[in-house]
Amino acid sequence: MRSLALMGLTALAIVGAAGLYITRPQTVDSATFAALTPDPVHGAQVFTASGCASCHMAEGSKTPLVLSGGQRLASPFGTFVVPNISSDPEEGIGGWTLEQFASAVTKGTSPEGQHYYPAFPYAAYQKMTDQDVADLWAYMQTLPADPTPSQPHEVGFPFNIRAALGGWKMLFTPKDWVMPADTPQLERGRYLVEAQAHCGECHTPRNALGGLQRDAWLSGAPDPSGRGKVPDITPATLGWSMGDIAYYLESGFTPDYDSAGGHMAHVVENMAQLPASDREAIAAYLLALPN
């Protein structure tokens, strides 16, 4: 009897260890990145399209390129405090290597080998090309250093067990595209929406465990803060033309001349800096969504 219990425990330990092994934090292939020539000028465009500053600048900051962190992102799982990702070697990420940066952005793995919480949208960023990630890193190293220490997240049990995030990642961060794209414009729109601008992170509803419901892609969701709603942007509900969407992303004005608010105001500031063809590509992608 006792040996049976012991066997059971051993089996459980093996399954647990295997589970932790399978779901362990992943890193990128160093040889792939070592072979790239980073372009910091193009990296600036990746940075803007990916909306890095919108979350990583201080709340209400007038200097969005100082990525000192500190914004508080409320969620049903706790409050995430955005970290310092300035070029400061101590408090920021100035001391990282390209490989560490790429593992963080595309695998959600810290240089210490821990899982990041998915408030950091690596579910989207993993779809970026290696070249774009390398360019982004080259650009971010040119941004100012800031000595503000990152603050701990305010996340309670059981969500504070980061090892469990490995399983979460396996379940909820498939790398394949959500939407088909059969023209260059749709492909570009898809890349911007799904890989860089991470629109789905707020506009797609989540299941009870916080995984994105890809079958309800961009169909709107409660605001994660618990107040208000993030709108459904599928074409039938939105009812906007291609020109309406592109103009909104440039000016912040809806067809009724209401204007973007909350976090979307930051998004519009970023989108306004992209070429007009990119805003049109996003519009084309949104108009091709199923209703």
Partner 1 sequence: MKQIAATAAAFGLVAALATPVLAQDMSANIKARQGQFRILALNLGVLGGMAKGELTYDAAGAQAAADSIVGVSMVHQPTLFVEGTDDMSVDGTRALPAIWENPDDFAAKWAALGEAAKGMQAAAGTSAEAIGAAMGPLGGACKSCHETYRTP
Nearest CA among 49, 73, 54 for reference residue 64:
54
Q: Where are the alpha helices (DSSP H) in 83-145?
A: 98-107, 122-125, 130-140
Secondary structure element (H or E) that encloses residue 80, with its range? strand 78-81
Q: Do residues 115 and 162 lie in contact, with contact meaning Cβ atoms separated by under 8 Å?
A: yes
Residue 84, amino acid: N
Tell me the closest approach of the beta carbon of residue 249 to partner 1, in angstroms. Answer: 11
> Which of 39, 130, 187, 269 touches partner 1 by CB under 8 A?
269
Question: Is 237 one of the binding residues for partner 1 (CB under 8 A)?
Answer: no
Question: Is 76 one of the binding residues for partner 1 (CB under 8 A)?
Answer: no
Contact pattern for partner 1 over residues 245 through 264, marking x by CB under 8 A: --x---xxx--xxxxxxxxx
Residue number with CB closer to partner 1 (149 or 262) = 262
Question: Is 275 one of the binding residues for partner 1 (CB under 8 A)?
Answer: no
CB atoms within 10 A of CB 31: 8
Scan residues 97-116 and list those touching partner 1 (CB under 8 A): none
Distance CA 61, CA 146 (A): 13
Question: Is 156 one of the binding residues for partner 1 (CB under 8 A)?
Answer: no
Tell me the closest approach of the beta carbon of residue 230 to partner 1, in angstroms. Answer: 6
Distance CA 144, CA 68 (A): 9
> Which of 265, 273, 277, 290 touches partner 1 by CB under 8 A?
265
Secondary structure element (H or E) that encloses residue 222, with its range? strand 221-222
Question: Is 266 one of the binding residues for partner 1 (CB under 8 A)?
Answer: yes
User: Which residues sit at the interface with partner 1, rule CB under 8 A?
Assistant: 60, 223, 227-230, 243, 247, 251-253, 256-266, 268-269
